[in-house]
A and B are shown apart, each in its own frame.
Chain A
Amino acid sequence: MDEFESFFRWLHQAHGLNFSVAYDAYDRAQYLSGLWTTIKLSVLCIGVSLVIGVIGAWAQGARFAPVRWAMHGYVAFFRNTPPLIQLYFFFFAIGSVLPGLVGDDGARPLVSNFAWAVIALSFFAGALNVEIFRSGLEAVPQTTVEAAESLGYTRLQAYVHVVLPLAVRISLPALGTNLVNLAKTTTLAYAIAVPELLYVSAQIWSEQLNVREMMNVVLVSYVGLIAVLVWVLHRWERALRVPGYGQDE
C-alpha cells in the first residue's frame, strides 16, 4: 500500500501527473464514497424501475380503461422527454411544493436529493421497462396460455408459472440494455448535487487542480463499472436463454 502511494507521489513530483486519489487518503476516501453512492444509486434505480415495469405491464392489460390510458400517458410522457429535465422537474418543481422537516440540525427537505434522483430516474427507466415487459408478454404465443389452461391452470397460475418466466427470458436482451443505460444515466444526479462519482471527482479536481488526471480516472472508472454490469447481465442472459427464441449469435 505504501509502495503504491509512494509510486504515485513520485509520479506527481517527477512528471507532474497528479493522481491524488492514489496517494492521498482523504481524496481516496472521498472518491470511494462517490463510487459507493453511484453503485447504490444504480442498484436502487434498477430495482425500483423493475417494479414499476412489472406493475405497469400488468396495468396495461387492465380491464378498467382509465388505468390503461394513464399507463399509456405515463409511458409516452417519460419516454419522449429529456431525463435531465424530468429530474429538475421532480427536484425543483415538485420538491418546492413539498413541506420541509424541521429537526435538531435545522430545516431539511422531506425528500433528499438522493431520493429525488432515485425517484426521477426510476420513473424514467420504468417507462421503458413497461414497454419491454409488455412486448415480452405479447411475444408469448396465445397457444401457450391455452395449453396451460387445458392442463388445468387457472388464469393467474398460468400467468405466474408459464407466461411470466417465458416473457422475462424473452425480454432479457432489451431489459439488459435498458438497465445498463440506467446505470449510465445515474451521472445526471450530478446536476442536483448528489455526491456520486462524477460530483465527487469534480470536487477533487477543483481543490487539487488535476482536471486532466481526474477526468481520465473518472472515465476509466465508469467504463470499468459499466463493463462489469454488462458482463453480469450477459452471463445472466446466457444462463436463462431459451433455445430457439430470439437471435442466436
Chain B
Amino acid sequence: MSVRSSIMVPRGAPLPVLLPLRRPAPRSLTLPLDAAWQRRATLVVLVLLASWLLCAEALAQAGVARPGIVALLWKWTPVIFSGFLFNILISVLSMAIGTVAGVALGLLQVSLVRPVRRSAWVVTQFFRNAPWLVILFYCILLIPFEFTILGATVPFPAWIKAVIGLSLPVMAYVSEFVRGAVSSIPSGQWEAAESLAFSRLQTMTMIILPQCVKRLLPPWMNLYAILTMATPLVSIVGVQEAMTLTRAALSSEGRFDLLIPMYLYILVWFFLYCYPISRYTVRLEQRHGRAS
C-alpha cells in the first residue's frame, strides 16, 4: 500500500479557509497493477495467439493439402477435454481431503498439549518441505494396490493413490494457514471469551474459527489454483490425464508443426481455468484488506 502524498480533507469536516497548495502528485516508480490493464494484456495475448494459429492454418492449407492446425486441434479437443475434466476431478478430491486433514492438523498445532503441538508441527513441516513429485512417487510406489479388509479386497487404483499423494502437501499448507489464522486473532478475544467462562472448545468453534474463515479464504483459493496446476504431475507416475492424452495425440498425428500449437492449446486450457480463480482471490484479498 503506498501512501499518497496529497492531503485529504475528511468527509464531513469543516472546510479549511485556505487549502494547502497541491502539487501534482509525482509519478510513482511503479504503476499500480490496474485490473483494466491486465484484462487488456490478456486479451492481446489471446488475440495474438488466435491470429497466429489462423495464419499457420492458412499457410498450411496454402502449402500442402493437409488438415490445418486448427482443424487438428478441434479434432482432438473432446479427448483432451475429457482428460482435463479428470484433472479437475483429481484437484477437487485432493483439495477436499487435504483441507479436512489440514484443518485438523492446524488445530492440533495450536493445542495446549505440548507433545501434540510439536508432533503436529513436525508433520506439517515435513510435508511442506517435501517436493510434490517425490510424495507422489512415494504414494504410487509404496501404497499397496489393493487392501484386504474383513475378507473383502478393496482395489486401490493408481489415480486414487495419486489423489492421496497430492492431498498430503495440501494438508500441510492448510495446516499452516489455519495455524497462522488462529495466531493472528488478537489475544484479547481469547481473554474475553475466557472471562465469560467459555470452554476452549466453545471459544474455538464460536469465536476464533468464524473469524478465521474470512482470512483463510484467499490463501486457500490460491492453493487450489496451485494444486490444479500440479495435477499434470500425475502423468509422470502413470495416471492418464490431459497431459498424457495430449502427448498421445501428438505422437499419433506425428506432425512436427503441431507441437507448439498443441502445447499452447493445453496451456490455454489451464490458463482459462486458473486465471479467473486467481483474479477472484485478488479481489477477495482487497475486499478483506479494506474491511479489516
Contacts and interface: CB of A to CB of B under 8 A. Distances in A.
Interface stretch (A5-13, A45-53, A69-77, A99-107): A69-77
Contact of B3 (A82, A92, A141): A141
B229 interface: yes
A28 interface: no
Contact of B274 (A57, A69, A81): A81
Given A222-B130, A223-B126, A81 B267 contact: yes
Given A79-B278, A85-B232, A142-B2, A215 B137 contact: yes
Contacts of B42: 72-73, 76
A187 B233 CA distance: 10
Interface in B19-40: 25-26, 28-33, 37-38, 40
Contacts of A79: 278
B26 A218 contact: no
A226 B128 CA distance: 9
A143 B37 contact: no
B243 interface: yes
Contacts of A219: 130, 134-135, 138
A75 to B, nearest CB: 9
B231 A146 contact: no
A211 B271 contact: no
B280 interface: no
A223 B259 contact: no
Contact of B264 (A89, A222, A227): A89
Interface in B228-264: 228-233, 235-236, 243, 247, 256, 259-260, 262-264
B5 interface: yes
A134 B30 CA distance: 7
Interface string B125-158: 1100111111101100110000000000000000
A92 B32 contact: no
Given A92-B259, A215-B142, 15 more contacts: A61-B28, A72-B33, A80-B270, A80-B274, A82-B230, A85-B243, A88-B263, A93-B264, A96-B260, A134-B33, A138-B32, A143-B3, A155-B29, A184-B129, A188-B133
Residues of A contacting B: mostly: helix
Given A72-B38, A191-B236, A82 B29 contact: no
Contacts of A82: 228-232, 267, 270
A69 B44 contact: yes
A60 B142 CA distance: 47
Contacts of B15: none
